Structure 1
């Protein structure tokens, strides 16, 4: 297989393209009309030095690259991949059919003008040290102001930042043997945070264009992964202020069977980088068990093992594993997804409408976190989602079991049915309820062949076999009879309910953020699959039940392992909380981006406080876990608030509540009375222990609110429900374009995990031959 690669700014030279302009007079005239000057004259003479100025160099280089591509012999085989370095990516996208020639000239003309107008800062090329090691060498010296701008090869990295700081960095690096640094002649700190304003302006400019998806895969500079549908405008804008990951792109191409590249345009810089990367990989393959280094998507060392057939992909098919093929094909078709991948709901709207919309627009699906919100808020956000994606679009809503308020659960189902919601994520259920059964079978009918068909899908998140078994079975007769008697289901819907399972998609939730039983995926998943197989045989279903994996999904290796175990899909949670779309505070996201895998702990669940249920929360930089456990200990030990010793009571009031217990109780009482829960207050007035429990619940509710609002005065009390998956993901993206949470858009998180999983399988199982 071959790939065509296009060079970027810096490859231009006087006289380039001299034989091309006469061959393509119409296109040359189109370029001149857009630019307002003769591009042929600029390239022939250098334009009095203008050819080396950003605003002129970029369009000139695009034109020469594009004409060089069009001048290729028609008989040459079509490349398997196209790629371009920085500006060259526009040529790769042009060759891939994303836009026409004139549009490409307009784009780079505007890009060059914006980048050329940027002032201040510079760039420093560093040779002789790996990028990950370079960050360690300059730590502190760079004053936190220098960004990695270009990852060109294993030992060639370009830094961007203030020129005076770069001079200090260069001096510091000169003290290390074998390390050399070269200042670049540029007018600004390209591909760094300094270019964010230019990137935002360019993003606004791009809104005036429509782009086709690439007809040939094009690994993006920003992600080092092929462009997904609908990503052209987004990634081109982000490319201006984010690193060029060229080394990772070359490794991606090598890992996906590319044997050679042809550089199209002036210069041979990219050809040299390719040769170096190919030798590096060949050396790694020859060495016994040698590490092949870190690449995009979190790939690690290469090991060899026997052939594996995860999901629908077999090593015998003669092609490498692809993210699009992992998992169950029927699952992808039923839900209209590119990947067998879902983003789960996080309560209080942390899994926000923005998160769900962005995923839906990129061929993926997420569930809105409706738990803990009032019905008005849920309806408002649901309508916003449907306005963006359509009532039948790719989205789902969370249906959280309300143990102490079944009326609310019923009201949520009323709302979903009224607005035509097709898919819910049923979470927190310890048993089936009339509400979830009603949602599943409302509107059920028989198809043209007389087979039972349900209009609604329930994805059940479960961690216990008995709960999974209930969702895998048809609805219990007692619940069906009750719903028919209340007019909630018709007789025909009730008959169908005896033939179809409550849920066709069972998501096995291992140790996760929020409510968790702390189960191990390696144990739970195979056990649940056997339950599934038994249910299939027992009930004689025509359609196979699907079993997915959730909890701890934070690295490509984890995703790959889930599919090797036989999972039909994966569902992520904690990793999405640290994204621009997540509905929590920047303070929480800053904290999450710095977590490691050991930085979580278990605390009592506020909504099931008296039962001793647990949630997994962030431990680092917050005292919530310790304080929550202390409150539960006090509840178990004492019969009421007044029974606790005075010293302890004062500590709780002063450091936990930040107000007297009496005021906490007053606020708690008003809340319950306002929300129609007078029975709870009556019970509390008879039982000091129950009064204490309700007051302690106040702290748990407030700790969530303080975190969502990012209240700096309450940082120590933040309750952030999160699992160790976020720590794993932080390791994956360290030193990549997704290191900062501002750039971790939820669709890119999915791309990183799914494409990374495919790469893991290609690297760690017997590599199939490429056809």
Structure 2
């Protein structure tokens, strides 16, 4: 086996019951939920395990909930002596990766992402912005259709997930126009049910508020190399993290670049940590030969241990 990478899930993968099995069976995982509850002043285990769904789906709750569940799963792996050679996350998942890297402590991160979620929710009033997944077109074509559609309003590439799957975001009319253009040139467009056009310039108000919040945050040194969504490559200096986190809110997520760089640097095994298997699918589309496992419950945890030889 070559190098192992830990990759962390982003928003949208949440579900009622996430992390329950891990917390009930693994003390280190249970402790993470307790720490989150203490930091935030409400019962995080109850929110993740019981819901209600509409509470879990509120962005300011979703973000700390996914972070908590992801770190709980990571702690289960760490207890078995499994450590990554490199880490990264998709969008919100970058905060889990920062905790994994040692640069951010968990309690600081969970309080920060609750605020980040609220700022993102408030940045664009409901009914103004939207997002759509464009399938079957490359990055250049998607940039072209966004450029054409910009006469209708703001529309920008938001997530470069994997070959043939790029998410766009912006004002509703412009996104719909770009989606139609995508269909005309042989692509597909799937509207996403999101509350705001994340990772576009429309989120600048959230980025500005987050910047103020980040001034009060203390960072530690990086123990595990971490890659960032903003550049698609390594964070080369801990002093750059705050700027990267500010920009990440309103910049394209270069996830495909991150995975390609990891592969280039000898990673052959990817462990997706957190709810769902979306990232596993992206990795497989980028490189079919990569070994990919996920950890979100006891069954997937045991399978991961088997594959990782722990």
Q: What is the TM-score normalised by the length of structure 1?
A: 0.35
**Aligned length in residues:** 280
Change in 2 beyond 3 A, CA 1:15/1:195: same
**1:77: Cα distance to partner?**
4.2
Name 1:242's counterpart in structure 2: 251
Post-superposition Cα deviations, 1:437-480, rounded to whole Å, max 9, x if no partner, equal xxxxxxxxxxxxxxxxxxxxxxxxxxxxxxxxxxxxxxxxxxxx
Residue 282 of structure 2 aligns with which residue? 273
* 2:171 aligned partner: 162
Partner of 2:301: none
Q: Distance in 2 between matches of 1:48 and 1:247?
A: 30
* Residue 4 (structure 2) aligns with: 2
Map of 1:218 onto structure 2: 226
Cα separation, 1, equivalents of 2:192 and 2:75: 31
In the TM superposition, residue 29 of structure 1 has moved relative to its aligned partner by 2.8
Residue 139 of structure 1: aligned partner? 147
Residue matched to 1:104: 109
Which aligned pairs between 1:109-188 and structure 2 lie closer than 5 A? 109-118=114-123, 119=125, 120-143=128-151, 145-177=154-186, 179-188=187-196
RMSD of Structure 2 on Structure 1 (CA): 1.8
What CA distance in whole angstroms lies between the structure 2 residues aligned with 1:73 and 1:203?
31
Shift of residue 73, structure 1, vs aligned partner: 5.1
> Is 2:146–2:156's contact at 8 Å kept on the other side of the alignment?
no
CA shift, 1:157, in A, is: 0.6
1:199 aligns to what SS in structure 2? helix
Offset at residue 147 of structure 1 (A): 1.1
> Helix, strand or coil for the counterpart of 1:210?
coil
Judge conservation of contact 2:33–2:69 (CA < 8 Å) in 1: no
Q: By how many angstroms is 1:46 displaced? A: 2.4
Higher relative contact order (CA 8 A, sep 6+): 2
| CA spacing shift, 1:170–1:188, aligned 2, 3 Å | same
- The aligned runs of 1:152-551 (5 Å cut-off) are 152-177=161-186, 179-229=187-237, 230-279=239-288
Q: Distance in 2 between matches of 1:141 and 1:226?
A: 33
1:139 shift after superposition: 3.0
Tell me, yes or no, if structure 1 residue 92 matches structure 2 residue 94.
Answer: no
Q: Distance in 2 between matches of 1:66 and 1:242?
A: 25
CA distance in 2, matches of 1:267, 1:74: 22
Displacement of 1:26: 4.2
Structure with larger Rg: 1
Q: Which runs of 5+ in 2 are unaligned?
A: 291-310
- C-alpha contact (below 8 Å) 2:148/2:178 kept by paired residues: no
Q: TM-score, normalised by structure 2?
A: 0.85
Separation in structure 2 between the aligned mates of residue 73 and residue 104 of structure 1, nearest angstrom? 19
Q: Distance in 2 between matches of 1:137 and 1:246?
A: 21
Residue among 87, 93, 101 paired with 1:82:
87
Distance in 2, Cα, partners of 1:215 & 1:33: 26
In the TM superposition, residue 279 of structure 1 has moved relative to its aligned partner by 3.6
Q: What residue number does 2:297 align with?
A: none
Unaligned residue ranges in structure 1 (runs of 5+):
282-771
**How big is each residue's C-alpha offset from its partner over 1:345-399, in whole Å with a ceiling of 9 and x where there is no partner?**
xxxxxxxxxxxxxxxxxxxxxxxxxxxxxxxxxxxxxxxxxxxxxxxxxxxxxxx
Distance 1:276 1:170 in 2: 22
Report deviation, 1:141: 2.4
- Cα distance between partner residues in 1 of 2:207 and 2:266: 34
- Map Cα deviations across residues 307-358 of structure 1 (whole Å, 9 max, x no partner): xxxxxxxxxxxxxxxxxxxxxxxxxxxxxxxxxxxxxxxxxxxxxxxxxxxx
Q: Name whichever structure is richer in strand by fraction.
A: 2
* Structure 2 contact 16–53 (Cα < 8 Å) conserved: no
CA contact (8 A) 1:213 1:232 kept: no
- Please give the alpha-carbon distance, in whole angstroms, between the structure 1 residues aligned to 2:74 and 2:88: 12
| Distance of 1:58 and 1:73 partners within structure 2 | 22
The alpha carbon displacement at 1:27 in A equals: 3.3
Match of 2:47 in 1: 42
Structure 2 distance, partners of 1:29, 1:78, is 23
